Each structure stands twice: as C-alpha cells, then as structure tokens.
Amino acid sequence: MKIELRGVCFGYNNKNPLIDDFNCTFESGKCYCLKGRNGCGKTTLTKLILRLLVAQSGEIVIDNENIKKMSVAEISQNVGYLFQNPELQLFAPTVKEELSFPFELNKTLTQETEVRIEETLRQFGLTELKNSFPLLLSGGEKQRLALATIFVRDIKFLILDEPSSSIDCEGKQFLSELIADFVRSGGGVLVISHDEEFVALLDNPEMLWLGEAE
C-alpha cells in the first residue's frame, strides 16, 4: 500500500495555512515517525489522509487513487486510526460489542468473524473484560480496546496519534512490539509522538518533520 501526499495545503482559516505544500510518501512495510511542535498540524495531517478533513489544495493519493473519489469508510477499509484520546472512538455498551458492532451493521458477522473477535480480545488481553462498559476501563485498557477495534479488521496501514500518552512502560513495550509485528507482516505505520522513550522502542523508524524542527 502506498499513500502519497503531493503539495498538500490546509488551514482552519484562509489567512494562515497550517500545512503548506507538504509532500511525503508512506509505504507498506515501513514505520514512520512524524514529529513537530504542538499545534503544527500533525493530527490535522492524519485527518486529511483519512478524509475527515479535505485539503484546500494539493492531492492525497492512496494506491494511485485520489481520495477525493473515496469515502471515509472506503479509506478505513485499509487504514486504521488510533485517536489521540482513544476514549472518543469507543461507543458500544460492552467491550465485545465494540468489536462486533461494525460487522453487525455491515451484516458481515459470521462464525469466522466471531472467532476472530475472540482471538483479538485474547491478543489484547481483553477477554476477561469483554462484558465491561468501555468508558469505565482504565486509560491503558481503553487504548488496547481501541487498537483491538482496528486490528480485528484486515488493515494495511496504521496511523497512531500520540499512542504513548496514556500508557505505562509495559504498555509502551506491548505497543512497540505490536507495531514491529505489523510492519514485519507487511503493514505500514505512521506514529505521531513526542515521547522520545517510546520512539526509541520503535524498530528503526523513518523520521519526518512537520513545520520547523524543535
């Protein structure tokens, strides 16, 4: 999978563009680490890739197809996104339903997907919590659940927005291993992080800067 950003410009007001002529290519099998000062537009950039926001000029191309022709749902079939605050991406009444609800909606909940959901719950250490209310979990558990909702699908590219902000050392280790495994299996990862300790745990990431260097 290849995500290309060509001359992307975006600003929340017309006077000051937040992202100005940004060019970059993300490929499968690689881990990228995007850095930049607070408020320089890192999260905004990821929202542009996912088409939650629309670039004012320039183009974003996923596998040779301009995302202008794609819906958020279509992009998300291949690109997973972990929110800066994972709590905001949880909405189901139980942990298990958090994973099964989109399958139910799309009418793709089969015996096979049920097995996959159980496997994913086990992989993320959530089996014992499967009947719990997601919003009452701890910060680390919420993040593991948000990641599980991504990994339960067959995604090819993963975007993580400040993933280490609410987890302990053990959680960081788990997350860095998860990223390494995903990259080894051919997936691409874009990590936004200020946490040097966490970035040091990543396996040889390609460093990118947005805006002026710190």
Partner 1 sequence: MKTDPRTKLLLIVCLSTLAVIAVDIIYLSIIFCVAAAVNALLGTNIIKVLPKMRFLLSVIVFISVAQSLTVKGGAPLLYIKNIVFVSTAGLLYGGEFALRMSIVILSSLIALSTGSRDMIDGLIKMRIPYEIAFMVSITLRFLPVFRDEFSNRLNALRLRGFDLKKAALGKKLKIYSYLLAPAVSGSIIRSRELAESIESRGFRAFGKRTSLRDLTLKSADYFVIILTLACAGGFAAFMYIKGALL
**String marking each residue 152-171 x if it binds partner 1 according to CB under 8 A:** -x------------------
Q: Which of residues 129-148 bind partner 1 (CB under 8 A)?
A: 134-135
User: What whole-number distance in Å separates Cα of residue 27 and Cα of residue 200?
Assistant: 21
**String marking each residue 175-194 x if it binds partner 1 according to CB under 8 A:** --------------------
Torsion of CA 79, 82, 88, 94, to 10 degrees: 80
- For 48, other C-beta atoms within 10 Å of its C-beta total 23
Q: Which of residues 33-72 bind partner 1 (CB under 8 A)?
A: 50, 52, 71-72
User: What whole-number distance in Å separates Cα of residue 214 and Cα of residue 204?
Assistant: 20
Q: Are 100 and 117 in contact (CB under 8 A)?
A: yes
Nearer to partner 1, 149 or 176 (CB): 149
Residues whose CB is less than 8 angstroms from the CB of residue 36 and which lie 6 or more positions away in sequence, other chains included: 42, 209, 210, 211, 214
Q: How many CA atoms lie within 13 A of 139 on its CB side?
A: 10
- Judged by CB under 8 A, the residue of 23, 29, 63, 88 near partner 1 is 88
Nearer to partner 1, 55 or 202 (CB): 55
Binding segment for partner 1 among 29-37, 98-106, 119-127, 191-199 (CB under 8 A)?
A: 98-106
Nearer to partner 1, 18 or 53 (CB): 53
Q: Which residues here bind partner 1, judged by CB under 8 A?
A: 50, 52, 71-74, 76-77, 80-81, 83, 87-93, 101-102, 105-106, 134-135, 149, 153
